[in-house]
Chain A
Amino acid sequence: MSEVNYDYKTKELPKSVFTTGIALLIIGTVFGVIGLYLDTQRFLLNYLLAFALLISVGVGALFLVTLEYVAGADWSVPIRRVTEFFSSTVPYLLIIGIPLLFNIGSLFHWSHPEAVAEDKILQSKAPYLNTTFFIIRFFVVGLLWTLFWFLITRNSRKQDITKDQVLTKINIRYSAIFIPVFAITISVASIDWIMSLDPHWFSTIFGVYFFAGTVLASLSAVTYAVVKLFENGYLHPKITKDHLYSLGALLFAFINFWGYIAFSQYMLIWYANLPEETFWYLNRWEGMWIYVSLILIIVHFVVPYSVLLSQPAKMDPKRLKFAALWIIFAHLIDLYWLIMPNYHAENSNPWVYLLEFAFPMAAIGVLCIVFYLSYKKSNLLPLGDPKLERGLKFKL
């Protein structure tokens, strides 16, 4: 292996990233708490939405890191640290989720024994949908994610100093184990936190649907951060638009994948027209939800598809940055569409709706803070990675 003199020092990130994050977190939390005070159920669902966003970005980023190891990709090595920074959200998920555990009763219909007593379907689901097992699943899933995050990122950072190839080999093994674990845990998490909000409804593709959104959200966060760092000269000078192109192409691929999965689910339920399934879509076709459903198709598929279709768009920093922010926004709408129709009460106070930005804003604040703190802790370039040189030389 040739010794490369990278002649490269990590520039410090401006403190403003951190202060912005703190500001977003505080403002978001304050307004969110006001919302909780005004309408507890609605804002618990909102909190859940913010939590789901952090799952998407954090666990999705961990998946992207492991995917690089398993696929043996080299182009993404020089920017892998950015993905790792986002994955550092994972351990905090266990803390952020706890307030929800105290409010299972307000969120989930199936948690009320009196409701279960008069509902045959809920009775048959009770071995899975019960409060104890739900909490156990939350901790098992969260701890598994944290364990793999800890092992993989620790080895990656250790390699900066030791330059030991064995660490790559070990990480490939961990990653290969993580991917099936991820497939199961992300399905469990999406069924538990989102699908069971409407406990009568079921769809076998739901885990895959949430997975598609997860990858999109994390990939967009990574793309946005990489382009920002690229434009401001933080990245290694050998990282070029060719690397950006790969990110753009992946985003484009997963936009299509999401569209494909969303279409499959809708198409099959619409065509079969079984009342036990269609009511879920019909709920999202009432009142203002018609517009959200239609907007979702445009915002989550048509626009990003058109923006990213051409080859130059996939490597143009400006357009990529726009597309990345747009897709995060689209993912928020997707989560809103999945979660919020489960709020049934009438609300006379229109100000409440204006406060709905609060918890997602706090979640974005958390992402900024986590990014800043993890950036400070390690190199921006995985200096010891044996594939780094190949990654820097990557050309289309």
Chain B
Amino acid sequence: MKIDYSIEAPAIEGRLSLSQIEELIAKPLDSKPDKKFLLALSISGSALALGALCVLLTFYYGIGLWGNNQPVGWGFDIVNFVFWVGIGHAGTLISAILFLLRQKWRTGIARFAEAMTIFAVMTAGLFPALHTGRPWLDGYLLPYPNQHNLWVNFTSPLLWDVFAVSTYFTVSLVFWYVGLIPDFASLRDRTTSKIKKVIYSIFSLGWRHSHRNWQHYEKAYMLLAGFATPLVLSVHTIVSFDFAVSIMPGWHATIFPPYFVAGAIFSGFAMVVTVLIFVRKIFDLEHIITVNHLEKMNKVILATGMMVGYAYAMEFFIAWYSGNPIEQFVFINRAFGPYYWAYWIMVSCNVIFPQLFWIRKFRRNIPLMFVISIFVNIGMWFERFVITVTSLHRDFLPSSWGYYTPTLYDIGILIGSFGLFFTLVILFTKALPVVSISEIKAVADGAQPSHHGEGGH
């Protein structure tokens, strides 16, 4: 295909007028839920219910129901936690970092990706809480002066996680909400329902679309983007510290922080692609979330996938180069030991399949990108499984070596976490505009005076 490099590809297609944009985005909020919606909701709701049941049983009997045991004391709980926190990285990356980089194509996908961030971090937050076994005591995770003189362990990266994840969640939520304010105002102005009007009025904080409003808004949005950017990096850096500050071979590697961040962006983008493929189809948003946008996301998937591949290779090389036999054993064991299957699922899903995205035709092929994005999700889940389980199951004492197998409760809770995430996503599509109305209007054709201003003719 011939591309004209002298012209910038439009951020949205189809030359929609401003009122058409508003109509299109607000439509799902005005219509009653249809059969398809209820079907999707019931599937995700059932998964959620299954998870809730397993969680309740866990509360009742204790975490002995799980597969965690010596020598693998960390199992699905930490794997799922890291997986979901990772999914939560694309949203803020798209909304904050791409905003600072002035990438206009982010507008179509930012809102949805941010929502996914918030839901993913909420899902992730469950696992550490569950793993404590007695979640009603989790209040002690917060350091506060108390009569027992009981303090948290400030030198533990698990505590840093509490701070990092809760800060990240708060800032992401505020960022998302600030972006929603102008849209709440638009919805308030067009709704006919009295109840909705009251709700939208409250959340729109008296927005009047005035110049003054916009000026403040843009300043606040810019500042929040600046705050959110280091947070995106810090959260997964701290998560990587959970492993890397220890002296376990296979966990202690200096490349972990950037490697985890790259992996988080990788998996987050894959999840966003998976979900957006459906969203753009179901809500007729093909002109707003275009194939160009998906192609760009696939490029990010390709790039971050190769970064992850670089980290795998570098870890292996340095394990050999270090001359440390224990380090070498862990990596040989990872690739050719009892968990070889998990390792090769990880490598093929994360490093090999995404290489198809080198070809433009494949990057723009929707069924193919759907399959690859699913593979990446699987691969990234297995990456955390490989890191956690393969490093632990053969520890320093060969007599205590073992093989970790998850129980049905572990699997039930994993399914439940997907149920929770997708239930929230599905409810979100009916409750709020899935695309930012105001931002799409700003990048629509003709919205920018500079297009026709100087030298255009």
| Contact surface of A with B, Cβ cutoff 8 Å | 1-2, 74, 120-122, 124-125, 128, 165, 168-169, 176, 180, 183-184, 187, 191, 200, 202-208, 249, 256, 260-261, 264-265, 267-269, 271-274, 276, 386-387, 389-390, 393, 395-396
Contacts and interface: CB of A to CB of B under 8 A. Distances in A.
Contacts of A125: 321, 323
B3 interface: yes
A205 B252 contact: no
Contacts of A267: 241, 245
Given A125-B321, A180-B306, A386-B6, A204 B253 contact: yes
A128 B6 contact: no
Contacts of A264: 237, 254, 256-258
B103 to A, nearest CB: 10
Main secondary structure of the interface of A (DSSP, over half): helix
In the A-B complex, the 6 residue pairs with the smallest Cβ-Cβ separation, listed nearest first, are A204-B255, A386-B5, A386-B6, A121-B323, A205-B254, A264-B257
A249 B99 CA distance: 13
A187 B311 CA distance: 11
B257 to A, nearest CB: 4
Given A264-B237, A272-B247, A387-B5, A205 B322 contact: no
A208 B245 contact: no
Nearest to B455: A393
A395 B254 contact: no
Interface string B245-283: 111000011111110000000000000000000000000
Interface in B315-334: 315, 318, 321-324
A266 to B, nearest CB: 9
What's the interface size class on B, roughly?
A: 35 or more
Nearest to B450: A395
13 contacts: A1-B4, A128-B321, A176-B358, A184-B310, A200-B323, A205-B253, A260-B233, A260-B258, A264-B258, A268-B244, A268-B256, A276-B322, A395-B450
A191 B241 CA distance: 24
A304 B259 CA distance: 26
Contact of B254 (A200, A203, A249): A203
B8 to A, nearest CB: 6
A350 B253 CA distance: 40
B454 interface: yes
B356 interface: no
A396 B237 CA distance: 31
Contacts of B255: 204-205, 208
Nearest to A203: B254
B314 interface: yes
Contacts of A204: 253-255, 311, 314-315, 318
Contacts of B315: 204
Nearest to A246: B102
Given A121-B323, A184-B310, 15 more contacts: A1-B7, A165-B3, A191-B321, A202-B322, A203-B318, A204-B254, A205-B253, A205-B254, A205-B258, A261-B258, A268-B244, A268-B252, A272-B245, A272-B247, A393-B450
Contacts of A187: 310, 314
Given A120-B323, A264-B257, A393-B455, A272 B5 contact: no
Given A202-B321, A268-B252, A389 B258 contact: no
A169 B4 CA distance: 10
Contact of A272 (B4, B246, B324): B246
A2 B6 CA distance: 9
Interface string B1-34: 0011111100000000000000000000000000
A331 to B, nearest CB: 19
B5 A168 contact: yes
A387 B323 contact: no
Contacts of A265: 254
A367 B454 CA distance: 38
A96 B279 CA distance: 57
Interface string B403-440: 00000000000000000000000000000000000000
B245 A271 contact: yes
A208 B258 contact: yes
Contacts of A389: 6
Among B100, B230, B257, B454, the most chain A Cβ lie within 10 Å of the Cβ of B257
A396 B101 CA distance: 10
Contacts of A271: 245
B247 A274 contact: yes
A273 B233 CA distance: 24
B237 A274 contact: no
B6 A276 contact: no
A206 B450 CA distance: 45
A260 B306 CA distance: 20
A207 B314 contact: yes
A386 B4 contact: yes
A169 B3 contact: yes
